[in-house]
Structure 1
Amino acid sequence: MHESYRKWYSHHLGRDIELLVFGNWGYPVLMFPTSMGRFYEYKDFGMIETARWFVETGKVKLYCVDSIDRDSWYGKHLHPGTRIWNHVLYDRFIHHELVPGIQRECNVQKIGVAGASFGGYQALNFAFRHPEQVGHLFTMGAAFDIRSFLNGYYDDNVYFNNPPDYLPNAQNNEFYHMNIVLGSSEYDFCKPSTQHISGILNRKGIRHRLDIKPWGVHDWPVWKQQFPEYLSMI
């Protein structure tokens, strides 16, 4: 399985962002790491190995991007307003810099986004903020209400990055052309949050699959089963 390391200087963030890319060609899937996770996390925990067949046969090309969680959601040393603003800059990096580069490299109009745990929040939030860039969305064991990270602080940036708040009022025809899978498991403490988002999508008539595995907790064995299953839906 071909693997390449890349370093991308982001003008929005004013820093280098590291990535691991798996595969030479195929439909691109951008993977967001779990809480404070690094770009090599999905490789280290064996998630990439579960997708070996899809990568080696040229079905998909996986882009594992670094997070800046320590300076945004988990940056307790910073004022909450600064934390959410840093996430806004990260979103701009993904939206204006990284994804257009992936689109050009793979010659596609839309990409896939995926993530486990907090990476699932990142993937879903990006997909519904920028549905013109996303054709496939896969979340695994994710929670989506981020207000608890901000010590009661609330502004427009929080609203527009908190899916339970903005999704009920959001309107975009591209929502209805996305292949969406919301994954969880029976004993995952994030299951209610996933079900809540599914309910919002149902009320809006947005087609998706709610996949609750009848076993397992909030952990890698469940996500490693789900990931190749979801890739097969591309």
Structure 2
Amino acid sequence: MIENYRRWYSYNLGFELDMLVYGDRGRPVILFPTSYGRYYQNKDFGLLDAVSWFVNEGLVKIYCPDSIDTLSWYNKSIHPADRVKNHILYDKMLNEELVPWVTLETGVNKAVMAGCSFGGYHAANFSFKHPEKVSAMFSMSGAFDIRMFTEGFYNEDIFYNNPIDFLPGNNQQDLWNMNIILGTSEHDICLESNYILSNILRNKNINHWLDIKPDEMHDWPVWREMFPHYLSTL
């Protein structure tokens, strides 16, 4: 695969971010890392190798940005109100910097959001907040209730970054035009979270696929199986 390293200054975050990019054309896919993961994590654990055919055929161009989870949700040294404020800056970076960049670069007006585990949260949260910019969302063993990181604290910022809270009242029309797949497995620690999100989508008559793999765990082998299958639905 063609691999390029990119580094840019984010005016929203106020510091530089790293990213790996795979391919030279195709539909733009933004692939988030898992908890504490860096921009190279999905490469190191073989997720990019699992979808190399799609990249080499020019069907997709995959962008693997850094996360700032250690500054936001996982930052136990600051108050939960400040954790969510940091995450909001990350969301603004995605919305105002990265998504416009990847759509302009590929000539495709909407992006695909994807991620495993906590990366699934990032994919879902952005997609449901900004559905006008997303054509498909693939979550693999995602977790969707961010209150586990707020130690009982709750405010409007948390509400609007917690998919199971804000999605029921979100009636943006583009939600009904999105290709949504919730991948999980029989022994996944996030199985219940996926059931809850699926029920919300079903109650809103939003078409989606809740894909439950039998006899599998919350781990990379099943995600390497899921990701190429989900890309094939594009």
Which interval holds the TM-score relative to the shorter structure?
over 0.9
Shift of 1:79: 1.2
Counterpart residue number, 2:38? 38
C-alpha deviations, 1:59-85, integer Å up to 9, x for none? 111000100000000000111111100
Counterpart residue number, 1:128? 128
Unpaired segments of 5 or more residues in structure 1? none
Shift of 1:179: 0.4
Counterpart residue number, 2:222? 222
C-alpha deviations, 1:153-198, integer Å up to 9, x for none? 1111100000111111111100010000000000001001001100
**Separation in 2 of the partners of 1:193 and 1:220?**
18
**Separation in 2 of the partners of 1:179 and 1:8?**
30
Shift of 1:93: 0.3
**Separation in 2 of the partners of 1:53 and 1:218?**
25
C-alpha deviations, 1:70-125, integer Å up to 9, x for none? 00000001111111000000000000011001111011110100000000010000
**Match of 2:194, as an amino acid?**
T
State the secondary structure of the residue aligned to 2:30.
strand
Unpaired segments of 5 or more residues in structure 2? none
**Separation in 1 of the partners of 2:102 and 2:5?**
15
State the secondary structure of the residue aligned to 1:8.
strand
**Match of 1:212, as an amino acid?**
I
Map 1:70-219; keep pairs closer than 5 Å: 70-219=70-219
**Separation in 2 of the partners of 1:182 and 1:225?**
14
**Separation in 1 of the partners of 2:8 and 2:138?**
24
Counterpart residue number, 1:9? 9
**Separation in 2 of the partners of 1:186 and 1:59?**
31
**Match of 1:179, as an amino acid?**
N
Shift of 1:56: 0.3
**Separation in 1 of the partners of 2:195 and 2:139?**
12
**Separation in 1 of the partners of 2:152 and 2:191?**
24
**Separation in 2 of the partners of 1:9 and 1:150?**
29
Deviating 4+ runs (over 6 angstroms): none
Shift of 1:200: 0.3
**Separation in 1 of the partners of 2:59 and 2:148?**
38
**Separation in 2 of the partners of 1:57 and 1:141?**
27
**Separation in 2 of the partners of 1:189 and 1:101?**
34
**Separation in 2 of the partners of 1:101 and 1:165?**
29
**Separation in 2 of the partners of 1:8 and 1:28?**
18
C-alpha deviations, 1:5-39, integer Å up to 9, x for none? 00021001000111000001111100111001100
**Match of 1:220, as an amino acid?**
W
**Separation in 1 of the partners of 2:131 and 2:71?**
26
State the secondary structure of the residue aligned to 2:187.
coil
Shift of 1:143: 1.2
- TM-score of the pair, normalised by structure 2: 0.99
**Match of 1:155, as an amino acid?**
N
Identity of aligned residues (%): 51
**Match of 1:29, as an amino acid?**
V
